[in-house]
Every structure is written in C-alpha cells, then in structure tokens.
Amino acid sequence: MSWRPQAPPSRWLSKIPLRYHKIVRGTLWFGVLGGFAFLCFCSYFAILASQYDIRQVGNLPQRNIVYDRYNEPIDAIVGSNIDLITFADLPPFMVKALQAREDAEFFTHSGIHLRGLIRATVRNIKDRKFTQGASTLSMQLARNTYEIRAKSLHRKFLEIALTLRVENNYSKQEIMAGYLNRIYFGVSAGHLGVEDAAHNYFGKHVKELNESECAILIGIIRGPHIFSPWRDLDAAISQRNQVLDRMIAMNFINAADKERITNIPIVIQSRNETSTEKSYAIQAVVKEVNKLLTEEDIQLGGLKIFTTLDMAWQKRLEGELQKALLSLESEKGYQAPRLIDYVGSKNPEYLQMTAVTLETKTGAILAQIGGRNYEQSRFDRSATARRDLGTAFEPFVAAAAAERGKPIFVGSPVATGRPVGPEGVERIARRCGLTGPFLLTEDLYRGAVSATPMEMAIGLSTLANQGSRPRPYLIREIRNSENQIVHATGPLFFPALTPPAARKALSVLEETKGTDSFTGATGSEREAWTLRLGPNGSTAIWVGFDQPQVITQESRLKKLLAEIVNRLDNK
C-alpha cells in the first residue's frame, strides 16, 4: 500500500478554522442540492403551465347574435353576453380606481407581488388554512381563464407559473382589459364583463361612465352578489366610498374630489329595463336554442342564430290586438277586469290575448305572442295554454265530414258531424294537429275540445296546405364563431287530409277583404277565437282570461275580432 499525503485545503477553505470545514462543506452541498431541487421544482410547474393554451387569455366568448327571417339582428340575448372592451375603452378614473382597490403595484410588478405573497403565506401558516391569497390582477386573470379554483399549494404554484406566462405574452393594458372582461359584476347568470355591467346598471357604455359609477363597479368586485346595486344600493355606495378612500391614500384624488364625486346623483336602471328576454317570441327563441345545443356550445359564444320571425308582422299583430282589447275595456258597461287596473300587480287577472302566425307553405313561425304584458306575466299561453274552442272547431268538423265524403252544412256543425261520429271527428282533428282533450259526445261538434293557439295555427295551415300538416319551426339555422353550420331546420310535412277534403273544409271560412277568416266563441262568452288565412300566413288568435270568466256578449266578441282582422295587412 502506497501512502499519499493529505491534499491541502483549497485557498478559500484554508482561511476558515479547521473545525468548521465539515460544516461549510455540508452547507455548500446542501445549497447545491437545494438549488437543483428548486430548479427542478420550477421546471416542473413551468412545464405544467406550458401545457395550457396561452391564447385562451385573449379568446373570450362573445355575444350570440339572433337574426329575423330577413337576416336583420334582433335585440335578444341567448347564452353568452360578453361585450368585449379594450384598455382604450376604460375611463382613466376606472383604471386608477381598480389599481387602488385591487393591485396598487400592478404596472410595476412582474405579475407576482412577492411581499404580499410572503405576508399571505405567513398568515396562512398561522391560520392553518388558506385565508389569504395575495392575488394580483394578473393572477386573477390566469385563475379565471383556466378555472383554477381549488385551494391547495399545488394549485397556487401552478397559478404563479401561469401568471408569469401571461405577463410574458400580454401587455399590462391587455391584462387589465382581459381581467375586466372576464369577471362577474352581479348582473345575472351568463352576464360577464364590465361593459355588460355598465349597460345593465347604468344604461351606458363603459367609456361613458362618470367617476361615481366607475367607483361603484370597482367596489362591487369583491362581493358582486351582496354588493349589487339591484340587491343593496346602500352597500354598493359604501363600497364606492371605500374605493375613493383608497384612492386618496394613494394620492390619486384628494378629499375635495371625494366630496364632489359622492355628490354625483346615482341613477340605477331597474331589472325590468335590462331583461334579456324582451318578449314572448324571444323567450321562445331562447328555449328552442337551449333544446338544440348544449350549454357548453351556447356559452362559448359567437353563434349566429337565424330565426323564422317576421318582426314587422310580429309588432303589427301585437299592436292591433292590444289596441282592440284596450278599446273593449274602455267601453261603457264593460265589467270584467282591465289591464289598467293591474299595472304593477304580481297576479294579473286582466283580459289576455295570444296569437301564432305560421307561414302556410313551410310551417315557419312568423309571429308568436304569448300574452298581453310580458313584464307582468312571462307565461307563454301560445304553446301551452289549452282553451275551449267552441264554434272555432267547426272547420275541423267540416274536414272530417269532407274526408268521409259527407255533406258540409256551414253554420250547423252538429248536422255536419253526426254522419261522421265523435270518434271520426277526433281522428281527423288529431291528424290536423289538435291534441285535445276531446269530449266524445255530440257536444264535440259544438266545440267541446281544448287546443293551444299553436295547434290551431297548425290546423289552419293544414287545411290551407292541401291537407299536408306542417311541422312548426322557429330556428332555421345556427352557425358557430367559425361560420360553420351547427344546426339547420327546414320544412317538414305529414299527410293529414286529401286535398279535396282540405279545400271543402275551408268553405266554412268567410271572405273578408281578400283574406279568409273565421271567428268563433264559446257559448259561455268566456273566450273567443279567430282563424285568419292570408296569402302567406295562417294566424290563430285567442282572447280570454287565464281564470275563465265572462268577457262580454258573444256578438260583441265576434265583432271585436272581425275589427282586428280588418285592420291587419295582408300577411
């Protein structure tokens, strides 16, 4: 065995007393290994964060646009309701207010507020749970973009790694705008972003907000539900004042500015003024889209929804019905409840109306009116309320007789129906689109059957369409954000009657200024119907009360409906 002298210590180590050499070496090795472990730790979360698509930060769901049959936009909201803003749209005061309230060093930090993070970590250790987050706007944007909600160390480290990626790929201005586009301001489900909040609460674009309104919106961020101006205006004002106090502390404003701002009158829109569904027709569109597409597809936004609605006809039909009913209610001797007596009531019991117009040749829904006042009663009577038909059932009794080759006695449905029998009349009525219930006695010929206005419009279209029953449809096409067709609907027909039988059944309709119409009322004078056949559309109109009661004399009811038909153009 050869002997080798012990190597002398390195120059820097020779300056340290011999007894500390092992400690120093151990500390150095621990530092190297710790540094390597920290590098691996950072690399792991960097790799994990790199698997997320950074483009998602800037790709927000946009508003779904609804169009009428002429491809004109309709004022309607279906699903996603985000109107995107850019940093240039933000009032400078709002930028300062957000910075003061949520992230004082936003424009100078790298996405992570180190001192705040350390302070929050110490507090969390003391509390033994996650009570503090120390999130910057950049961290909140990353969290909202990628739905990082779980409170754990792993999620927090991933959030930090994603935040650094966000800061590396987007400017501070883009980050702030993205944050305000994504957060919830307490309006209602499906409504996100500061532009939507400005529109709903104040009826303005965000760029038009005054200083008080800016501070209110920034103030409710920390509690969008409990601080919503609709829920608690005093709480929203209190939050506004806290924002202003914070701005004073940061020398953005002074006490005189605060006093001036707090004296600005606050005008909050009511919920009714911001309704996303502004009519029965729009409500029907929303329900139909929800049936056709998944919630995820709807909320992704960017959809173009092409409906069959003829908005000009819809408004004209609704206007003429409303005018006629108001005229009836103002007549001397009218004793039933009136609309004017129930304005603001939660339990409206005034005279109602409902109507449906189908394009006869296709079944496309041109108009759908579910009631008289949408703001007071959202119940859509057009497709769900089953009402007694009375003499309005006569055309279908005639159809049953014509199909069996029996004679038709216009104005005498009992004589027309007897050779066919109640079961035969029911069978033909069902084939025309009516689903009952039917009273299978001779009273059926007199109209002892219930139907919805939608069913009556289908039945009239069947008679006018040579016996082919159309399937009604409201949505003709839906395209996604890439303009790809995701749904399309067209005409579909079912054989119901022979063409000669359908033509004979129409003989019970009266000629009225170039359009065929038929008015009917129940013998109890509690409701009335009009079936109106124009060159293009088949319209069914019902007038009555939700809780049946006498309206007025049957002759007056028929005259009222005839007046409506006379005023309508030739749809």
Question: What does the domain layout of the chain look like in residue ranges?
Answer: 82-274, 316-464+488-567
* 291: pLDDT strictly greater than 50: yes
In 3D, which of 429, 405, 401 has the Cα closest to residue 413? Answer: 401
Distance CA 34, CA 98 (A): 39
Higher pLDDT, 473 or 42: 473
**Which pLDDT value is given to residue 164?**
87
Highest mean pLDDT among 106-110, 175-179, 423-427, 513-517: 423-427
Distance CA 226, CA 258 (A): 24
Q: 547-556 long-range contacts, Cβ below 8 Å, gap at least 24?
A: 547/349, 548/524, 549/336, 550/336, 550/524, 550/525, 550/526, 551/328, 551/336, 551/351, 551/525, 551/526, 551/527, 552/328, 552/331, 552/334, 552/336, 552/525, 553/525, 554/521, 554/523, 554/525, 554/528, 556/328
Q: Which of 7-11, 88-92, 469-473 has the lowest mean pLDDT?
A: 7-11
**Which pLDDT value is given to residue 513?**
40
- How many CA atoms lie within 13 Å of 526's alpha carbon, on the beta-carbon side? 11
Is residue 110 within 8 Å of 103, Cβ to Cβ?
A: no
The distance of Cα 570 from the centroid of its chain, to the nearest Å, equals 33
* 571: pLDDT strictly greater than 60: no
Distance CA 452, CA 565 (A): 20
Is residue 380 within 8 Å of 371, Cβ to Cβ?
A: yes
Q: Please report where in the chains the tokens 């769901």 appear, as a residue.
A: 61
Mean pLDDT of 72-100: 86
**Which pLDDT value is given to residue 279?**
85
| Same fold across 82-274 and 316-464+488-567 | no
Distance CA 480, CA 463 (A): 37
**Which pLDDT value is given to residue 84?**
82
The token pair at 496 is 């119901």
> Whole-model pTM?
0.68
* CA Rg value for the chain: 35
**Which pLDDT value is given to residue 160?**
84
* 286: pLDDT strictly greater than 70: yes
Q: What is the β-pairing status of strands 387-388 and 365-369?
A: unpaired
Three-state helix/strand/coil letters over 265-315: CCCCCCCHHHCCCCCHHHHHHHHHHHHHCCHHHHHHECCEEEECCCHHHHH
**Which pLDDT value is given to residue 17?**
67
537-544: strand order across its sheet: 365-369, 352-359, 537-544, 527-533, 515-521, 510-512
**Which pLDDT value is given to residue 276?**
46
Instruction: Confirm or reject CATH 3.40.470.10 for domain 82-274, answering yes or no.
Output: no
Higher pLDDT, 422 or 129: 422
Is residue 322 within 8 Å of 380, Cβ to Cβ?
A: no
Helices (H) and strands (E) counted in the chain, each on its own, are 21, 15
Higher pLDDT, 272 or 352: 352
Q: 113-116 long-range contacts, Cβ below 8 Å, gap at least 24?
A: none
Q: What is the DSSP code (8-state) at residue 32?
A: H
Mean pLDDT of 358-372: 95
> Around Cβ 494, how many Cβ atoms within 10 Å?
13
List Cβ neighbours of 482 (8 Å cut-off, separation of 6 or more).
none
In 3D, which of 395, 409, 327 has the Cα closest to residue 540? Answer: 395
**Which pLDDT value is given to residue 539?**
93
- Per-residue pLDDT band at 522 (split at 50, 70, 90): low
* 47: pLDDT strictly greater than 90: no
* 344: pLDDT strictly greater than 70: no
Tell me the pLDDT tens digit for each residue of 254-268: 999 999 999 999 999
**Which pLDDT value is given to residue 382?**
94
* 301: pLDDT strictly greater than 60: yes
Distance CA 559, CA 552 (A): 11
Please provide residue 491's backbone torsions phi and psi, each rounded to the nearest 5 degrees.
-60, 145
* 277: pLDDT strictly greater than 60: no
The distance of Cα 268 from the centroid of its chain, to the nearest Å, equals 21
**Which pLDDT value is given to residue 113?**
73
∠ CA(503), CA(507), CA(510), 5° rounding?
135
- Which one-letter amino acid corresponds to residue 483? N
Is residue 525 within 8 Å of 560, Cβ to Cβ?
A: no
Q: Which of 62-66, 307-311, 317-321, 403-407 has the lowest mean pLDDT?
A: 62-66
**Which pLDDT value is given to residue 560?**
74
Instruction: Render 110-125 in DSSP notation, one character per residue.
Output: -S--HHHHHHHHHHHH
Q: Which CATH number fits domain 316-464+488-567: 3.40.710.10, 3.40.50.1000, 3.40.1780.10, 2.40.160.20?
A: 3.40.710.10
**Which pLDDT value is given to residue 133?**
52
* 524: pLDDT strictly greater than 70: no
Evaluate the omega torsion of the peptide bond into residue 472 and state whether it is cis, within 30 degrees of 0: no
Distance CA 424, CA 38 (A): 85
Mean pLDDT of 484-513: 86
